[in-house]
C-alpha cells in the first residue's frame, strides 16, 4: 500500500465589497473594455477596513473544515501561503490557529507569491507522506489591495483579495495513477527573473511595504512557456498524459495566459476552471478559490484528475497533480 495525501474538504472566502472595472474609470485612463480585453477580468473583491489576510484565511479555513466534516482539533498543521501577511511576524498561520481555537499542532507560512499555494501543497504532501501529520489545513490568502499603485493602470486593475483553503488527509492507495490524492509535484524557481515581478519595499531595505511592479509582457511570455512545461512534467511523474486530465485549475492571473497554457497542453477550455473574471488575480488564493468554486458548481467531482499550476514572483512556478 502507498501513503497518499487526499483532499477531504475545500472552502473559500471573499470580501463583501465587489469592485467592477467601471469603478477605475473615474481615476485612471482605462475602461471596462480595455481591462476585459487584456485580462478577462470583469470585477474583483477588496477587503474592508479592518479586514486582514488572517481574518479572510480563517473564514476560508472554517468553510473547508465544514466541507470536510471536521473540527479544528482534528487538524495537525496549518500552512498559509501568502505574500501579504498582517504583520512582519508572527505568521498568518499562527493567527489562523488562534482564530480557530486550535491549541495543538503547528502552523507556519510559505511565501512563493502567486505560486504559493502550489508550494504549500507540496509542503503539506511531504509532511503527510513522511508521517509528520495526518491532516493538514492548506490555505492561500491575500490582501493585494494594500500593496497596489493606484496610479498604475497596468497593475492595480488586475488584483483582488480573498482566501481559499483545502484539507489534506492521509489515506492509502495502491501506488497507481488511479489512487485518490496528490499523485505528483513539480516545483521550480529562477531568481534571475526577480526584477520582472516584485514589490519595491521591504523590512530590510525601505522599511515599508512597497507597491507591486510588473513587466507585463515579459511575465506573460515566461508564464505561458513555464506553466505548460511544469504541468506536462508533473503529469509525466505521475505516469499520466494530458488527455487523462479532467480539469486544469490554473492560477487565475490573466485569461489570455490561461487560454494559451491550455492550448499548449492540447486541452479545450471546457476542461479549465476559470474564475479570473469574478475575482481578478488573488495571488496565492487563486487556486484554492477556483478549486472551491469548481466543486461548488459541480465541475470537480470525486475521482476527477485535476492539475493545478501557477507562476509568481521570484520567479517561482510549479504544478500539482491530484486525483480528487
Average pLDDT of each block of 10 consecutive residues along the chain (324 residues)? 97 98 96 96 97 98 98 98 98 98 97 98 98 98 98 97 98 97 98 98 97 97 96 98 98 97 97 98 98 98 98 98 98
Tell me, yes or no, if 12 is annotated catalytic: no
d(CA 163, CA 234): 25
Alpha-helical (H) ranges within the chain are 32-39, 53-68, 92-99, 116-130, 216-237, 255-265, 276-279, 286-296
Position 284 scores a pLDDT of 98
Q: What is the DSSP string of 73-87?
A: GG-SEEEEE-SS-SS
Domains defined for the chain, CATH in brackets: 2-173 (3.40.47.10), 181-323 (3.40.47.10)
Position 265 scores a pLDDT of 95
Asked whether the beta carbons of 108 and 124 are under 8 A apart, the reply is: no
d(CA 112, CA 104): 26
pTM of this structure = 0.98
**Quick count: other Cβ atoms within 10 Å of Cβ 46?**
22
Position 174 scores a pLDDT of 97
205 Cβ neighbours under 8 A, 6+ residues apart: none
- Calculate the CA dihedral of residues 59, 167, 102, 282 and round it to 10 degrees: -40
Quote the strand ranges of 149-191, DSSP E. 161-173, 181-189
Tell me, yes or no, if 251 is annotated catalytic: yes
Tell me, yes or no, if 281 is annotated catalytic: yes
* Residue from 156, 251, 254, 279 carrying the catalytic annotation: 251
Position 184 scores a pLDDT of 98
Position 14 scores a pLDDT of 98
* Residue from 21, 114, 232, 279 carrying the catalytic annotation: 114
* Residue from 21, 123, 254, 281 carrying the catalytic annotation: 281
d(CA 131, CA 121): 15
118 Cβ neighbours under 8 A, 6+ residues apart: 112, 185, 187, 287, 308, 309, 310, 317, 318, 319, 320
Amino acid at each position: 500500500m502507498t501513503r497518499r495525501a487526499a483532499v477531504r474538504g475545500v472552502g473559500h472566502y471573499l470580501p463583501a465589497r465587489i469592485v467592477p472595472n467601471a469603478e477605475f474609470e473615474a481615476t485612471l485612463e482605462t475602461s471596462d473594455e480595455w481591462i476585459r480585453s487584456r485580462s478577462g477580468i470583469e470585477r474583483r473583491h477588496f477587503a474592508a477596513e479592518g479586514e486582514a489576510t488572517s481574518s479572510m484565511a480563517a473564514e476560508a479555513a472554517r468553510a473547508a473544515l465544514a466541507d470536510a466534516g471536521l473540527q479544528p482539533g482534528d487538524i495537525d498543521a496549518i500552512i498559509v501561503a501568502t505574500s501579504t501577511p498582517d504583520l512582519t511576524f508572527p505568521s498568518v498561520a499562527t493567527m489562523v490557529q488562534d482564530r480557530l481555537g486550535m491549541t495543538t499542532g503547528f502552523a507556519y507560512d510559505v511565501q512563493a507569491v502567486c505560486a504559493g499555494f502550489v508550494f504549500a501543497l507540496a509542503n503539506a504532501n511531504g509532511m503527510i507522506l513522511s508521517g509528520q501529520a495526518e491532516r493538514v489545513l492548506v490555505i492561500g490568502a491575500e490582501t493585494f489591495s494594500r500593496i497596489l499603485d493606484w496610479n498604475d493602470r497596468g497593475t492595480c486593475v488586475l488584483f483582488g483579495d480573498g482566501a481559499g483553503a483545502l484539507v489534506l488527509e492521509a489515506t492509502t492507495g495502491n501506488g497507481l495513477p488511479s489512487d485518490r490524492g496528490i499523485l505528483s509535484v513539480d516545483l521550480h524557481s529562477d531568481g534571475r527573473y526577480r526584477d520582472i515581478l516584485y514589490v519595491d519595499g521591504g523590512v530590510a531595505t525601505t522599511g515599508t511595504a512597497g507597491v507591486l511592479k510588473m513587466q507585463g509582457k515579459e511575465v506573460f511570455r515566461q508564464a505561458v512557456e513555464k506553466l505548460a512545461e511544469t504541468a506536462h512534467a508533473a503529469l509525466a511523474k505521475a505516469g499520466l498524459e494530458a488527455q487523462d486530465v479532467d480539469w486544469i485549475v490554473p492560477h487565475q492571473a490573466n485569461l489570455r495566459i490561461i487560454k494559451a497554457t491550455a492550448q499548449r497542453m492540447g486541452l479545450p477550455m471546457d476542461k479549465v476552471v476559470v474564475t479570473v473574471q469574478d475575482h481578478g488575480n488573488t495571488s496565492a488564493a487563486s487556486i484554492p478559490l477556483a478549486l472551491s468554486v469548481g466543486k461548488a458548481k459541480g465541475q470537480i467531482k470525486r475521482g476527477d484528475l485535476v492539475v493545478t499550476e501557477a507562476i509568481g514572483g521570484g520567479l517561482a512556478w510549479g504544478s500539482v497533480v491530484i486525483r480528487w
